[in-house]
Structures are given as C-alpha cells and as structure tokens.
Amino acid sequence: QVMEMIAEIFVNLPFDRALEMEADQVGLMMAAKACYDVREAPAIWQVMEMIAEIFVNLPFDRALEMEADQVGLMMAAKACYDVREAPAIWQVMEMIAEDPLEKDKDWEFLSTHPVHQTRYQSLSEQLSSALQIRFNCGCSKLDTNCDPQMFVRDFEKYLQQTNHVTTK
C-alpha cells in the first residue's frame, strides 16, 4: 500500500518536480494522501509544502548559517584577525534591526537565518576556542584597549541618547 501511495504521488506530479522531491516531502505527502485525496484538495498540498518548508528546510538553512559562522570564525582566527569582532557585529546588528524576523527568537522558525541574538550567543560561546586557535597560530596579542565590546557599549549609549530603541 505504501508503494502504491508513493507511485500515485509521483504519477500526479510533473516529472521534473517529482525528481527534486526530498524524502521528507514524500513522507508528508503520504500522510496527506492517507487522509485526503491530494488531487481533490490542492490546499492540502500547499499546506503540506509550507509545513515541510517551516519544519524541514528552514531549520536546515539556519543550521548551515550557524556552521558558516563557525567556520568563518575559525578561519578568521587562523588568519590572525580580531575574532572578538564576530559576536560584536551581531550585537550591533540586533540593535539596529527593525524586522522581527531578525530580532525576535519567537519568529526565528520562519526565517532562513538565525536571529542576531542567536548568532551573537553562538559566536560568544566559540570565542575562547577561536582565541586559542589564534594564539596557536602565533598571532600577535590583541590590544585590550581596542575591545569591540567597548564599541558596542558606546554605540548602545549613542542609540539611547538619540532616542533610538535598543534591544534591552
């Protein structure tokens, strides 16, 4: 019965669309098919595609973004850049962001990218290992007087003085 359902799903799809389907989409379609005839209820098809997008594709995209942040941080460390800048930039981005998909963790599941706070927290957690990599590569010491967190605090004060809303 399962194979018949899979075959029927593919028969009712354009060939090129059937070839690009992923296993999770087939599973969702099978669940829909078990309850409804997909051909008679195109809205079910659209709902199932939206569910697959929100619960399968978007989390994968966010995971790729987080991995890219991690790889970028480690590459920057090996290249002797000031890796303390990485979390700081996401703090600033959060302060100036206006789109809720960039700021509000409650809506993060609807975005292809993690919210700025998630990126800041993740990069902050990785900072000590990045600094160790930087040290192991023989990079010069970082100037404690040029701590990016000082800029973040000053920028936040500026936003408050100019009546701009900050994240706090």
Q: In this predicted model, what pLDDT tens digit does every residue of 45-104 receive, in sequence order? A: 677 777 777 777 777 788 888 999 999 999 999 999 999 999 999 999 999 998 887 888
> Which regions of 51-152 does DSSP assign to beta strands (E)?
none
DSSP letter assigned to residue 111: S
Model pLDDT, residue 49: 77
Q: Which of 2-6, 46-50, 144-148 has the lowest mean pLDDT?
A: 2-6
- What per-residue confidence (pLDDT) applies to 19? 47
Q: Which of 98, 97, 115 is nearest to 106 (CA)?
A: 115
pLDDT of residue 164: 75
Per residue in 16-60, pLDDT tens?
A: 444 455 555 555 555 555 555 555 556 666 777 777 777 777 777
What integer pLDDT is reported at residue 36 of this predicted model? 53
Which tokens hold the place of 23? 């296993």
Percentage of the chain lying above the pLDDT 70 cut: 70
What is residue 105's three-state secondary structure?
Answer: helix
What pLDDT, in 10s, does the model give residues 108-125?
A: 888 888 999 999 999 999
CA distance 70 to 122: 8
Which of 48, 36, 54, 168 is CA-nearest to residue 109? 54
Contacts 24+ apart (CB under 8 A), 159-167: 159/95, 159/96, 166/95, 167/94, 167/95, 167/103, 167/117
pLDDT surpassing 50 at residue 156 = yes
Note whether 116 and 93 are within 8 A (CB). yes
d(CA 91, CA 48): 36
Residue pair 83/90 in contact (Cβ under 8 Å)? The answer is: no
CB 156 within 8 A of CB 162: no
The whole-angstrom separation of Cα 83 and Cα 129 is 10
Instruction: Compute the Cα dihedral for 148, 150, 155, 156 and give only its sign.
Output: positive
Tell which wins on pLDDT, 13 or 149.
Answer: 149
Least Cα distance to 135 among 93, 49, 88, 77 occurs for 77
